[in-house]
Amino acid sequence: MSDSDEFHDVIIVGAGNAALAAAVSAKENGAPKVIVLEKAPYEMRGGNTHWSGGVFRFAFDDPRDFEELLPRIEDTYENFYDGVTPYPKEDYHNDLMRVTSGRTDPELSQLLVSNSQDTVKWMHSVGGIEMEPALNLSSTRKDNMLIWARGLVVRAVHEGVGLSTSWFATAEKMGIDIRYGAAVTELLVGDNGNVNGVKYRDDDGIRTLKGSAVVLGAGGFEANVQMRTQHIGPLVGAAKVRGTPHNQGDGLRMAMNIGAMPWGQWSGCHATPISADWGEFAPRELTDRSNRLSYVYGVMLNKEGRRFVDEGEDGALFTYAKFGRSILGQTAAKVWQIFDSKVVHLLEPRYQTSDPITADSLEDLLSKLDIVDKKQALKTLNEFNAAARDEDEGFDPSKPDQLSTNGLALEKTNWGLKLDKGPFYAYSSTGGITFTFGGLKTNTAAQVVATDWRPIKGLFCCGEMVGGLFYDNYPAGTGLVSGATFGRLAGRNAAKVALGHDVVADEITSIAPSSSAKNTETTEPEWVP
């Protein structure tokens, strides 16, 4: 058989969490021949999943609802479930609505939330993903009990690396063909308007692969300097990338070339505060350990020596994407996170991947930093301390504690402790762009929708390429669950196309709007040191 005659029932473009969920789902649902085309070489496979913390945000009414994910956990952690607060669907949707200022796509967000728990259980039972408590990411110890961030208790064993490795192992066990160094360049469309294959480039040239359906799970455009600059802005164009260098927006361009509708916030991105010491791309071997997310316990100063965000606005797991973007708007896209000795033990373990600058006084500390206006920086810190509070006034690192400064133009509304106990510590930080929010219009069957508002038959979408879920900000742990949810749906419907059946939209469970959610106050804990 010649290259041009090669046929697979379902073609998956990409090999991250969402794409492999789609591949496994397609095979599970009866597609005889499923192929994954991964642009990266084997040693760089897996997209952004490798860099992730591997944590899953999902809804549950009773902590015991997900007991099957953590078998015998109470043998290791006595009374484990006593520290887990229920996270109903209404609260999850409320959090998603709140952090996106109500702009999240109403249908897709409800589909995500209503399927979140079942998706994670499917990842475990069918995807073969082993899971564990997300100890160093979303728990804190209080009164000899682990208190967990609401909805954010479970992660993949070995985090993103383990998640990616497990997906590949399951796909291979199911007989799914995976080709590396296979860069898809074009979607093929038949005379009937259906997508019926792709062209891809490998070491031997351009190849044609025909199929019944194509699932795009190729990621966003965060590694593409031109697209970042054009759609998000010049400051973001110069950002460091916390993720794969292979997410160049190829899938988005290919889909729009055949009439797909761009959708969502193309000017937005998930930009995590990371160490400014790394190069253009955060080191692959450090995975997510370049993150710097304990700013809630200190203050952040830009090069002009000023604070620029309310570091205590909310738990870091609800603000880090927004603040990462804010950092990119500062001079040289670099800031300093300042802590004193009262709180340094609370910093998440990922800070240990770089050495802080230290000094016994704030004046001496500032003298060692590349802040341009050191006089203003000292004034900022002195004014902060005059408005800040003492530890015995109710400081509680396990949740937003309402311990606010009083009298500043930009208050710190939680964890507003004075910086008054030396030695003092400074860690550099920049915004590491992880993924872009702009994507494709996608319906509840995971079909890509064209600019004429009709679905493009035979073309499905999942992962970062789904537009409209996130705007300006992002609740931690939602991306992996979203990827697997839409990947599972896309793979299932792609298999239906291959088998000659009708595509079926996923049933959406009605969820109360955010304004009527019972719990609108976050109780997001931070990290165990």
**Which residues lie below 8 Å from residue 162, measured CB to CB, with a gap of 6+?**
54, 129, 130, 156
Query: Are residues 215 and 306 part of one domain?
Result: no
Angle between helices 478-498 and 17-28 (to 10 degrees): 40
Query: Are residues 298 and 250 part of one domain?
Result: no
In a domain, 492, yes or no: yes
Query: Are residues 258 and 213 part of one domain?
Result: yes
**Which residues lie below 8 Å from residue 475, measured CB to CB, with a gap of 6+?**
57, 95, 96, 99, 317, 318
In DSSP notation, 170-217 reads HHHHTT-EEEES-EEEEEEE-TTS-EEEEEEEETTEEEEEEEEEEEE-
**Which residues lie below 8 Å from residue 361, measured CB to CB, with a gap of 6+?**
422, 424
In a domain, 85, yes or no: yes
Query: Are residues 463 and 415 part of one domain?
Result: no
Encoded tokens for 242: 């916390």
Per-residue pLDDT of the chain (529 residues; tens, 9 = 90+): 345 569 999 999 999 999 999 999 999 999 999 999 999 999 999 999 999 999 999 999 999 999 999 999 999 998 999 999 999 999 999 999 999 999 999 999 999 999 999 999 999 999 999 999 998 778 888 778 888 999 999 999 999 999 999 999 999 999 999 999 999 999 999 999 999 999 999 999 999 999 999 999 999 999 999 999 999 988 787 788 988 999 999 999 999 999 999 999 999 998 889 999 877 887 788 777 888 999 999 999 999 999 999 999 999 988 998 999 999 999 999 999 999 999 999 999 889 989 999 999 999 999 999 999 999 999 999 999 999 999 999 999 988 999 999 999 999 999 999 999 999 999 999 998 989 999 999 999 999 999 999 999 999 999 999 999 999 998 999 999 999 999 999 999 999 999 999 998 887 777 865 443 334 344 443 333 3
Q: How far is CA 366 from CA 14, 274, 334, 336, in A?
A: 46, 20, 15, 10
In a domain, 245, yes or no: yes
CA distance 164 to 366: 42
Q: How far is CA 277 from CA 273, 280, 327, in A?
A: 12, 10, 15
Give the domain-ending residue among 387, 403, 432: 432
Helix (H, G, I), strand (E, B) or coil at 19: helix
Query: Are residues 171 and 77 part of one domain?
Result: yes
User: Which residues are registered as beta bridge partners of 197?
Assistant: 188, 210
Burial (Cβ within 10 Å: 0-12, 13-18, ≥19) of residue 320: buried
Query: Are residues 283 and 238 part of one domain?
Result: no
pTM for this one? 0.88
In a domain, 525, yes or no: no
Encoded tokens for 313: 């606005």
User: 10 Å Cβ neighbour count for 192?
Assistant: 8
Query: Are residues 89 and 45 part of one domain?
Result: yes
Decide the pairing of beta strands 34-38 and 177-180.
parallel
Contact predicate 302/338, CB 8 Å? no
In the prediction, which pLDDT does 412 show? 98
In a domain, 331, yes or no: yes
In the prediction, which pLDDT does 282 show? 72
Name the residue type at position 182: A
Encoded tokens for 310: 């309310």
Contact predicate 316/400, CB 8 Å? no
Domain that holds residue 292: 271-432
Give the domain-ending residue among 432, 450, 473: 432
In a domain, 522, yes or no: no
CA distance 469 to 478: 10
Query: Are residues 222 and 107 part of one domain?
Result: yes
Query: Are residues 344 and 446 part of one domain?
Result: no
Q: What is the CATH number of the domain that holds 223?
A: 3.50.50.60
Query: Are residues 148 and 212 part of one domain?
Result: yes
Query: Are residues 227 and 108 part of one domain?
Result: yes
Residue reference for tokens 């109500």: 102
In a domain, 526, yes or no: no
Query: Are residues 225 and 353 part of one domain?
Result: no
Q: What is the CATH number of the domain that holds 319?
A: 3.90.700.10
CA distance 317 to 343: 18
What's the domain count of the chain? 2
In a domain, 357, yes or no: yes
DSSP secondary-structure letter at 345? G
Give the domain-ending residue among 389, 404, 432: 432
In the prediction, which pLDDT does 528 show? 33
